Structure 1
Amino acid sequence: MPKHKWRTVKMSATQTQARSSTLVQRMKRISPLTIVVHLSVLLLVIMWTIPTFGLLVSSIRDKDQLAVSGWWTALSSSEQNLIARTNAPSTQVFENGVYILKGNIAPEGESVEVLAFGSSSQDPSAFEPGTTSTLRNGNTLNVETNGDYVFSSEKEFTGSRGKRIFYQAVEKPRWTLDNYREVLSSEGLGQSFINSLTVTIPATIIPILIAAFAAYALSWMQMPFRGLLLAVVIGLLVVPLQMSLIPLLRLYNEIAMYFGVGAKSYLGIWLAHTGFGLPLAIYLLRNYISNLPREIIESARVDGATDFDIFRRIVLPLSFPALASFAIFQFLWVWNDLLVATVFLGNGDEFLVLTGRLRELLGSRGGNWEILTASAFVTMIVPITVFFTLQRYLVRGLLAGSVK
């Protein structure tokens, strides 16, 4: 081997050995607590992701499969106990002294592999495919492996619906978007979606604006009792929403009656969400704004800038991570809220928000799981979009002011 190639191979081996030793040293520096923290975070992510994935899978499954099996069985073929109906009695024919119904139990346009069939739901595997079984009323039933059946009776079949056939089959997963089509085309859903946006967007912007002014004043403006005001704000963080909701509603109704304003209006819920969100917003933004470089603020004041100019041109642009982080929390909380919306807007179709519409859908169609799962995922689309759009600012905003 030439000398220059031998040197190259030797240098590569030396570099690889050095990197391996460096990696081993880094692994030794990792404390057990760090490993536990990482594993805990991974576990929490998995615990939150699995139900969301299951909800998505259930929302695009066929409603018949969803009713008889869990979402974890939807990714592969599985053995299931199913029910089918024969053709209507009007299609029966009379042959060899008996009335016969013929057909196939597979859904239209699909195939089926029958493993067994029976005469009742308690024993759907009583007979093997291809055998002729005698039922309790004297009728006979034969079901082939491909789903073809022959139902015969000495008496004429009556009624408007076909007879039930219980069977076991290997069923392939069936996917559909009909659940979403039914949800998105349901009456009132579009109006409720607009109502939720009408409530959420102002209820997110208004507290941010107010809290930004308050946070700047508590951070950089000289005023009496500034520390006491900050302590009051922090104390309001522990006040439960449920304890203050009724007094706030009574106060709002009295003010609305005094000024002749309707009690059920968007203004009331905007003010309510603003009041409930302000303590966290002021605390979060104050921690961030108070840690901005003092030299920038003082230089602006030396140049003759007013507090409003400093706030508008310096503080707001530099505080975008904190503003975005609170916007995520406020938007998610208001969008998913049902209690405050029900109290201040009621259950009328004019002001009913999306969570209220989903609650009514749950009450009136509690057995239609395919509709409920699709509805729930529709309500999640907007919060998920907002979160992933602003999530890079979330940690920066939350950790602001925690480390000098």
Structure 2
Amino acid sequence: MTSATATAPTGLETGAPRRGLASKIVDRIGGGAVQVIMILLGLFWLVPTLGLLVVSMRTTQVNNAEGWWTIFTKPAELTLQNYADLLASGFTASFWNTVAITVPTTILVIGIAAMAAYAFAWMEFPGRDLSFLVVVGLLIVPIQIALIPIASFYGGIGIFGSIPGVVLFHTAFGLPFAIFLLRNFFVGIPASLLEAARMDGAPEWRIFVSVVFPLGKPAIASLGIFQFLWVWNDMLIALVFANPENQPMTKALQSQMRQFGSNVDILSSGAFLSLIIPLVLFFAFQRYFVQGMMAGSVK
């Protein structure tokens, strides 16, 4: 009797799936080499920041005559006089104006959006879904169409040109995205945790403060970084709603462009000062930022 031999159907592959060229290259060069490459790419990304720092610490004559990379052979060309001239020009007031605008805006957006997101995610009330659709629809409303109506409204109530007016505008237009982001994160919190808290007699505000808000730290930190950077780097709203005495750094630098013309040393020192605070903030909270961006990608 002849034994039957099982054969795979013609045209079908058996065994492990074929691997791509990229995965084979990664296996050959090893994980350590990949890390080295990523570090080198990160350092390359920081080269413009290093160049800005060097330019901000050299005179205009030196910057016009040489590239910034020559500082490695001529470190004596570095000076802090540019920063002294910048601070003497009134830039310090613009820095604190930026802080006075950015910090309250970020706190207000996070606080209001977190409470609204919790309500949309875990509370039942009439018109909840319709209200959330309205919030999502506000994401596509451009800021430019609200500039003239809001400016007229601010003029009527007497806050046009003031810092509170700028803060309120940024807060209003930052809330739709903030509510959308936090609501999508909060719905991923296990319902059993909230039900257990309710069974223990905890009111809604207690559940929000003790359960939802701590678990939402990654998304809240990500939102805080985004909102801080948007407001810190904004110039459009500052140009429209901020008076010269209340102008933030972005508007001050724009005015320096007209005043100093081609004085790159003054402009670069101001640009580096406006850059360093967001950079420090990002590196301080990058762990929460990555967690917030990855939230919901793995079940």
Amino acid at match of 2:124: Q
2:179 paired residue number: 282
Tell me, yes or no, if structure 1 residue 384 matches structure 2 residue 287: no
Greater C-alpha radius of gyration: 1
| Superposition TM-score, scaled by structure 2 size | 0.82
Change (3 A) 1:320 1:42: same
Stretches of 4+ moved more than 6 A in 1? 38-44
Q: Secondary structure at the match of 1:279?
A: helix
Amino acid at match of 1:312: V
Question: Which residue of 66, 74, 88 maps to 2:71?
Answer: 74
1:365 paired residue number: 260
1:174 paired residue number: 77
Amino acid at match of 1:174: E
Structure 1 vs Structure 2: percent identity of aligned residues? 45
1:98 paired residue number: none
2:56 paired residue number: 59
**Contact 1:212/1:282 (<8 A) preserved:** yes
Please, which moves more after superposition, 269-278 or 63-72?
63-72
Q: Secondary structure at the match of 1:263?
A: coil
Aligned residues: CA RMSD: 2.8
Deviations 1:88-115 (A, max 9, x none): xxxxxxxxxxxxxxxxxxxxxxxxxxxx
**Contact 1:75/1:173 (<8 A) preserved:** no
Give 5+ residue unaligned stretches, structure 1: 1-25, 78-171
**Contact 1:180/1:371 (<8 A) preserved:** yes
2:293 paired residue number: 398
**Contact 2:57/2:79 (<8 A) preserved:** yes
2:6 paired residue number: none
**Contact 2:221/2:288 (<8 A) preserved:** yes
Amino acid at match of 2:229: L
Amino acid at match of 1:268: G
Change (3 A) 1:221 1:236: same
What is the rounded CA distance, in whole Å, between the counterparts of 2:272 and 2:204 in structure 1?
A: 45
Tell me, yes or no, if structure 1 residue 291 matches structure 2 residue 188: yes
Question: Which residue of 102, 105, 123 maps to 1:200?
Answer: 102
Deviations 1:36-81 (A, max 9, x none): xx9998898567422212111211224321122222343337xxxx
**Contact 1:59/1:370 (<8 A) preserved:** yes
Change (3 A) 1:274 1:39: farther
What is the rounded CA distance, in whole Å, between the counterparts of 2:95 and 2:54 in structure 1?
A: 23
1:366 deviation in Å? 1.6
**Contact 1:284/1:398 (<8 A) preserved:** no
**Contact 1:61/1:370 (<8 A) preserved:** yes
**Larger RCO (CA under 8 A, 6+ residues apart):** 2
Q: Secondary structure at the match of 1:401?
A: coil
Amino acid at match of 2:62: Q
**Contact 2:151/2:160 (<8 A) preserved:** no
What is the rounded CA distance, in whole Å, between the counterparts of 1:217 and 1:41 in structure 2?
A: 41
Tell me, yes or no, if structure 1 residue 231 matches structure 2 residue 130: no
Matches within 5 A, 1:90-129: none
What is the rounded CA distance, in whole Å, between the counterparts of 2:90 and 2:194 in structure 1?
A: 51
Amino acid at match of 1:194: W
| Superposition TM-score, scaled by structure 1 size | 0.62
Question: 1 or 2, which has the higher strand percentage?
Answer: 1
Amino acid at match of 1:68: A
What is the rounded CA distance, in whole Å, between the counterparts of 1:222 and 1:308 in structure 2?
A: 14
What is the rounded CA distance, in whole Å, between the counterparts of 1:361 and 1:274 in structure 2?
A: 28
1:402 deviation in Å? 3.8
The number of equivalent residue pairs is 273
**Contact 1:67/1:369 (<8 A) preserved:** no
1:339 paired residue number: 236
**Contact 2:55/2:68 (<8 A) preserved:** yes
Give 5+ residue unaligned stretches, structure 2: 1-21
Question: 1 or 2, which has the higher helix percentage?
Answer: 2
